[in-house]
Structure 1
Amino acid sequence: MDSRSSILYLGIPLGTWFQTQVRVSLLFPLLLVICIHRLGVPVGVAVTVLVFLSVLVHEFAHVFVARGTGGEGDEILIWPLGGLAFVRTGPTTSSEFFTAAAGPVSNLLLLVASLSALAMMRVPISADVFHLLEIPNVTLETTVARDVLLLMASINFKLMCFNLLPAIPLDGGQMALSLAKTRMEPLPARIRILQVGQVIGLLVAVAGVLMEDVIPVFLAFWLTIYNLHEYFLARISEAYDEPITLQEFSSDDRESPRRPGMIERWRQRREEQRILREQQERAEAERRLDELLDKVHREGMSALSEAERRFLTRASARYRSHEH
């Protein structure tokens, strides 16, 4: 889902945190409406807030690990089905894998922290905390701290399990894709994982029907449609990478020039936009680098902020790699 002109990508800016623009989707209030309808006002509002905070931590984990493994991340969008961190991983399998894995790991850490706090409070942990669909039966009336911790543990358990499903665009699918690309070319690997994602979607739908719950059915519908859409795009891309020629049926030895098709023109425009974006980013990086070098020359390294030092280190490493 790369086209940010879709309604799925429209959002309200919440500011820039840790050099990352954070926005909340215009569709996010739907989650609040659903939670209040199913759980009542106090618990519904609490669940929505805790989901927002958990997803925010989840997405920042992607951003930080991407930066730490040679990539970049500059934007987060919180939306009803979770979040989207717009990151560019480093050029290694480990960067791709660990950037994707960072999200579920952050949910695991929040789960463990919540359970540890409950254990210190000597609160018995009920089985419904680990239910994949239901949340603990809490009221938020007298034992607010306990109830919030139970909800936090339950929400992060669900987020972790859902995101570990091996289906794109979930983290489990991205992790599986990074491993599959070590055994085959990127496009065939993506096609294979998208096929797996379709099967996962159908299995989740069957589970939802058996449990008589609409939420798994809705999630399965979304997963299946998304993976089918991406699968057909990948197949079209695969076909156009090896164009079909009609030379065998031609009456002339000279091949007539072929007008690019719609998909090919779209790909050309995407490539031109990518090149232009890279040129603009490179020019901006060089301008900022010149400013920092001038600042170092005038005031010394001690005058640089931590963010400026990180940028200077990344720029130096990038220039050294280009020289080699």
Structure 2
Amino acid sequence: MVSRGGPYRDSGGRGADFRRILGRIFGDAENPMGWALTVGRVAGIRVRLHLLFIVYATAQILYSIPRDTLGVGFTALAMTSLFVIVLLHEFGHCFACRAVGGEADDILMWPLGGLATVSPPHEWRAHLITTLGGPAVNAALTPVFAGLLMLAGQGDAVLFNPFRPSVAVGAMGSWWLVALWWLHYTNLLILGFNMLLPLFPLDGGRTLQAVLWRRMGYAPSMDVAATVGVFGAIALGVFALVGDHVLLLGIAIFAGLVSWQERRRLRAADDLGEVGFESVYRAQQEEARERGPTRSQRKQAEREQQVQVELDRILAKIAASGMGALSAKEKKALRDATERKRRGGSG
């Protein structure tokens, strides 16, 4: 769904026809993040498969034909394991968010992992629980896969070199053992990668932000997490280039861009006079020095800050997935905010 009549008024010949075709298939032809096919719904959560994930998985399988001694079948098992483990990880985020009273209605699977659309209550503990919900699934699966491998006589394969999976897989003869090991490998890789690297918006970066939020407040913690994310992405990018790890390089670029964009958003919000980093930080410092405002005034200021943060989140969601991804509650919040600004501008 596209707001204000959508992009399909364009009569630009083949380009417009192509966008109309994409619109029928994906729903949002103008937003590349919306180029995804809905593969199903689980507990009211829509699962979408991005076009680039299909291209990536197909390319990996085709690439393995002339070069990979493991063969096409083993590579296909690896891609399937990646899809299953990442999907379970994202469901962990969604159900954790719902457990703390938030909303979760969409999962997008794409080459760099999964993106769960979650809206936890604006409180550090709720955000922390939502973030840890994904890694908790991987942590719970780790002893299951490791135990099954040991029961199958593959105890030596429980520990492995993450950059050379072919060493472990090549020693296994049966397909079901290979499939089990790929699940174990992918599960540990997702767990370690997400929690050991403090890159925003990955789980490690979001965990750091939630912990800092408790002490510093929301906006300052976002600024610190985004800054750490920028420098962490640079370090990961250098490592990926030196080691010739293409997927790691893609993740580093993505994390760096998101972190940089978040820093710019915080600065822009402050420049526009909204509740941004500098204004929130100054307000907190002034309150700590003077303790002047009454309790009701402080609560009102907190409510206004929460409304602004929620509006920022909705706008970021529109930028990532389009208007069609908004829930009815989010659309109402956007309309209410627009009406308040209109009244303020005319008054």
Q: Give the TM-score, by structure 2 length.
A: 0.65
Given the alignment of the two structures, is residue 134 of structure 1 paired with residue 164 of structure 2, yes or no?
Answer: yes
Question: Across the two proteins, how many residue pairs are aligned to each other?
Answer: 254
* Displacement of 1:136: 4.0
Structure with higher RCO (Cα < 8 A, 6+ apart):
2
Alpha carbons of 1:134 and 1:98: their partners in 2 closer, same or farther (altered >3 Å)?
Answer: farther
Q: Which residue of 1 aligns with 2:298?
A: none
Aligned letter for 1:238? D
2:329 to 278, 281, 284: 278
| 1:15 counterpart SS class | strand
Shift of 1:179: 1.4
In structure 1, what is the equivalent of residue 191 of structure 2?
Answer: 160
1:16 aligns with 2:41: yes
Deviation by residue 1:52-75 (Cα, 9 ceiling, x = unmatched) = 111111111111111111112111
Structure 1 CA distance for aligned equivalents of residues 140 and 166 of structure 2? 19
Q: Distance in 2 between matches of 1:86 and 1:213?
A: 28
1:306 is aligned to: none
Shift of 1:33: 3.1
Where does 1:106-121 land on structure 2 (aligned, <5 Å)? 106-121=137-152
> Is the 1:136–1:151 contact (alpha carbons within 8 Å) kept by the matching residues of 2?
no
Q: 1:162 to 1:34 in 2, by over 3 A?
A: farther
Which residue of structure 1 aligns with residue 234 of structure 2? 202
Question: Using the alignment, how far apart are the partners of 2:330 and 2:239 within structure 1?
Answer: 48
Aligned counterpart, 1:215: 247
Q: How much has 1:81 moved relative to structure 2?
A: 0.9
Aligned residue for 1:158, secondary structure, equals helix
1:240 matched to 2:272? The reply is yes
Q: Report if aligned partners of 1:22, 1:77 keep a CA contact under 8 Å in 2.
A: yes
Counterpart selection for 2:121 from 67, 78, 90: 90
In structure 2, what is the Cα distance between the partners aligned to 1:158 and 1:179?
A: 24
Deviation track 1:202-227 (CA, whole Å, cap 9, x = no partner) reads: 11122223324333333222222221
SS of residue matched to 2:214: coil
The residue matched to 2:37 in structure 1 has which SS?
strand
Whether the aligned pair in 1 keeps the contact of 2:112 and 2:250 (CA below 8 Å) is: no
> Deviation per CA, 1:54-111, whole angstroms, max 9, x where unpaired?
1111111111111111112111111111111111113432221011111112122223
**What is the Cα deviation at residue 242 of structure 1?**
6.6
CA contact (8 A) 1:61 1:103 kept: yes
Please identify the structure whose Cα radius of gyration is greater.
Answer: 1
- AA aligned to 1:97 is L
Residue of 78, 91, 99 corresponding to 1:47: 78
SS at match of 2:165: coil
CA distance in 1, matches of 2:327, 2:85: 36
In structure 2, the partner of 1:248 is none
Partner of 1:201, secondary structure, is helix
Aligned residue runs from structure 1 range 255-270, under 5 A? 270=315
Is this contact kept in 1: 2:50–2:109, CA < 8 A? yes
Instruction: Specify every segment of 5 or more residues in structure 1 that has no aligned partner in the other structure, as ranges.
Output: 244-265, 283-324
Contact 2:149 2:157 in 1 (8 A): no
For residues 134 and 177 of structure 1, do their structure 2 counterparts lie closer, same or farther at Cα, with a shift above 3 Å needed?
same
Alignment of 1:241-320 (within 5 A): 241=273, 270=315, 277-278=328-329
Instruction: Report if aligned partners of 1:140, 1:147 keep a CA contact under 8 Å in 2.
Output: no
How big is the shift at 1:200?
A: 0.8
- When residues 235 and 73 of structure 1 are mapped into structure 2, their CA distance, relative to the original with a 3 A threshold, is same
In structure 2, the residue matched to 1:7 is: 32
Q: Once the two structures are superposed, what CA deviation does each residue of 1:91-138 show, in whole Å capped at 9, x if it has no partner? A: 4322210111111121222232111101111213237x5434332442
The answer to whether the 8 Å contact 1:31/1:48 transfers is: no
How far apart are the structure 1 equivalents of 2:331 and 2:202? Answer: 30
Unaligned runs of 5+ in 2: 1-27, 276-310, 317-322, 334-347
Partner of 2:92: 61
> Aligned letter for 1:133?
F
Structure 1 letter corresponding to 2:261: H
Contact 1:70–1:89 under 8 Å retained in 2:
yes
Structure (1/2) with the larger helix percentage: 2
Point out the more displaced range, 170-179 or 230-239: 230-239
Conserved in 2, the CA contact under 8 Å of 1:136 and 1:154? no
Change (3 A) 1:105 1:176: same
- Residue 190 of structure 1: how far off its partner (Å): 0.9
Aligned match of 2:54: 29
Query: Is 1:226 aligned to 2:251, yes or no?
Result: no
CA distance in 2, matches of 1:190, 1:152: 33
